[in-house]
Structure 1
Amino acid sequence: MLFSTTLSLLSLAAAGSAATLPAAFGAQKRQSGSVSVTPHDRYSSSVGVLGCKINVNRVAYWPSFPSCNDICVRVSANGRSVNLLKIDQSGGAFDISYDAWNYLVTGQSAAENPTMGGGIPATYETVDPSECADLLNESSGRLAFTAANSMNFISSCGPDTWVGRNNVLYNILNPVCTYGYDEVCTLPPPELGNQPQCPHQLGVPAPLSSQPVWNIDYGTGRPSLAL
């Protein structure tokens, strides 16, 4: 279990190194277009956003790598809309959380009226990150990242970006919050390096059960613990 976890954490860190620094949200043109959105029922984040600190039922898993500013997208279909955190990269599909997809299809949560199917025609637009504020469950209202495995991405997001201004680091090892410590870490002054400082040693794979992440299973609507 720890071996596979280590491999996944290394993959997460490698993905973070591909991040690029975009212009500030207000200075760039909002993106929009038409897509076919498909359901995704297992939480993940290629930049290390902690699922225990957000609403995992409102996430976009899209082909483009997450950016430091375009973190919130609005997807509309069948006269309904959902705001989603764009924090993971797919292999090519425009996936969204199963519950969000189910709502666009039926108008109900997947936990209440689960349905099945494939891509549905939808439109999207990037919106100001404040539109996704209600999807953040972290106590200070910031977007929470794993301190041990998100520094490549965090370091690429300068202080003029939304992520640069609104991130918080936790000593939790993986996005589904099953290892580490539920504690906030801080960054030292730049001249002292960029290794986060935490109350416990950084990166210890101590089992963590107090911060569960629950998926909604495709087709059944039943909750299952993310592992």
Structure 2
Amino acid sequence: MFVSISTILVASAAAASATTIPVKRDTSISVTPHEQYSSSIGVLGCKINTNRVAYWPEAIDCNNICVKVSYQGRSVNLLKIDQSGGAHDISYDAWNYLAFGKGAKEEPHMGGGIAMTYQTVNADECKGLLQDGVLPLSAANSMNYVAMCLGKPDSWVAKNYELLNILDPVCHYGYAEKCTLNLQESNQAKCPHTLGMPNQLKDNPVINIQYGTGKEVVA
């Protein structure tokens, strides 16, 4: 049977196109509960949903900061904003919900690692976990991460971040005010108050859910 060269080329192109379509694959991991909020890149806990955070071994980049974790038909999106020492921890409330179907405040459980699956998803799928829809970072202590991401101008974080004059991820010190950054002028942000002042914050608490009791505790 005669097969034209054009037919072969079309078929080859179709095959090549098919092989380049990205496929989201679930990866199996042992997931453990994490009680106290933290962020190694300085994400401010008072400006996000701290009950939906992933604490994983991988270094944090500027795009893949949103993961979807699933177990027995239940799924949650989590912000991957802290680097663990080796475990795949997630917020206690998220772990409790995935494992038992109810939040940690409603029905707290205790336990260790549970085999769950995850996939990295577009960071936009975690926007609902951010108070203002952008990643809130410490103007005083997140500059290494910010500079890295601004060096990748097409990255999600470079297009979706804000700096605030708050010193620590649990929002104990500073001012709850937005700052601006112009790297052509300075590698430090400009804020209404002096950057990095240890003013005690009182109206921006970070709340942890206590492991085993379900009680809310100020960090």
* Bucket of the pairwise TM-score, normalised by the shorter protein: 0.7 to 0.9
Aligned counterparts of 1:38 and 1:115: Cα–Cα separation in 2? 12
> Shift in Å at residue 51 of structure 1?
0.3
* Alignment match, 1:172: 166
> Shift in Å at residue 29 of structure 1?
7.3
Unaligned ranges ≥5, structure 1: 1-26
Unaligned ranges ≥5, structure 2: 1-20
* Alignment match, 1:7: none
Listed as ranges, the matches of 1:13-52 within 5 Å are 32-52=26-46
Given the alignment of the two structures, is residue 127 of structure 1 paired with residue 127 of structure 2, yes or no?
no
**1:76 is matched by which residue type in structure 2?**
S
> Shift in Å at residue 37 of structure 1?
0.2
Question: 1:71-115 CA distances to partner (integer Å, 9 max, x unpaired)?
Answer: 100000122111000000001000000000000111111000000
Given the alignment of the two structures, is residue 220 of structure 1 paired with residue 213 of structure 2, yes or no?
yes
> Shift in Å at residue 32 of structure 1?
4.1
Query: Alignment partner of 1:191: what SS?
Result: coil
> Which of 175, 197, 200 is equivalent to 2:190?
197
Percent of matched pairs sharing the same residue:
61
* Alignment match, 2:90: 96
Aligned counterparts of 1:174 and 1:210: Cα–Cα separation in 2? 14
Q: Which runs of 4+ in 1 moved over 2 A?
A: 27-32
* Alignment match, 1:65: 59
**1:117 is matched by which residue type in structure 2?**
G
Aligned counterparts of 1:79 and 1:31: Cα–Cα separation in 2? 16
* Alignment match, 2:142: 150
Aligned residues: 197
Q: Which has the larger radius of gyration?
A: 2
Change (3 A) 1:179 1:111: same
Aligned counterparts of 2:130 and 2:170: Cα–Cα separation in 1? 15
Q: TM-score, normalised by structure 2?
A: 0.87
Q: TM-score, normalised by structure 1?
A: 0.84
Query: Alignment partner of 2:184: what SS?
Result: helix
Aligned counterparts of 2:137 and 2:22: Cα–Cα separation in 1? 25
* Alignment RMSD (CA, Å): 1.4
